[in-house]
A = this chain, B = another copy of it.
């Protein structure tokens, strides 16, 4: 990962994307610290390829993380520290979220990779 760029540097498809759309509650309760820790932890996971994330002024955000396989995604979901964060997310941090798991079939951009 290039920490100065918000873009993920992903390999040629196929690979997987987890599209996480969320609306934050006004409750902080350690959210920022958890979010930073989850990025750090995700980067240590086998099969993690990168992530892109943005949240707007009204609290709606989209994070897309990229993974080599559905097995890698399942292992990340089951990670014990991540599971605790998911629990807090459901209870406290997110008023609404949607999570979609998708297989990236094609990719292109500017500038070309």
Chain A interfacial positions (CB closer than 8 Å to B): 6-8, 10, 13, 17, 19, 21, 23, 52-58, 60-62, 64, 70, 90, 94, 96-111
A56 to B94, CA, bound (A): 18
Determine how many copies of this chain the complex contains: 2
Residue pair A104, B109 in contact (C-beta under 8 Å): no
Residue pair A60, B6 in contact (C-beta under 8 Å): yes
Known: A54-B62, A55-B56, A102-B104. A19 touches B21 (CB 8 A): no
Residue pair B107, A99 in contact (C-beta under 8 Å): yes
CB neighbours of A58 from chain B (8 A):
6
Known: A56-B54, A60-B6. A17 touches B94 (CB 8 A): no
CB neighbours of A23 from chain B (8 A):
6-7
A19 to B23, CA, bound (A): 19
